[in-house]
Structure 1
Amino acid sequence: MAPKKQRLVFTDLQRRTLIAIFKENKRPSKEMQHTISQQLGLELSTVSNFFMNARRRCVDRWHDDHGTSPGQPGTSTSTFSKA
């Protein structure tokens, strides 16, 4: 069995830069991601994964904040049933 690949930990500069870009643009183009990867010395796939995960965390956080309290409109799936 091949040894497990070491998990990449972003440097402070890389993390702050990626977060700042994410706040401005949730879905940068492949060209922009390529430029970011070159500037920060990261793989394109790493930058791509960061944005994918950041979007997911953003949705999860919104869901956690707004989806758990009762009485919120749109949280009940029974509204859409045909019964």
Structure 2
Amino acid sequence: VAAAGIDAVCAAYRGPLATWRAGATLLVLRPAVVPAAQLTAADVAAAADPVRPFHPGRGAVVDRGVVVPVQVARVSSG
């Protein structure tokens, strides 16, 4: 498991981030604002909700080129 900002991932041409970007299962949050062509060959922007593209927790899982829209839940501390 690794976490990185989109700028760092898109700028990685070698090393662990580039390796993970090329072959790992990715969870991309806020897919409507991701420069998809730089991140993965799969179109993650298609996973964005066109009505609420910036809805908190909206994301996409990319596994072997297949994009699956997801909603990440947040548990309240109350």
Q: TM-score range by the shorter chain?
A: under 0.3
Considering fraction of residues, name the structure with more helix.
Answer: 1
TM-score by length of 1: 0.22
- Between the two structures, name the one with larger relative contact order (CA 8 Å, sep ≥ 6): 2
TM-score by length of 2: 0.23
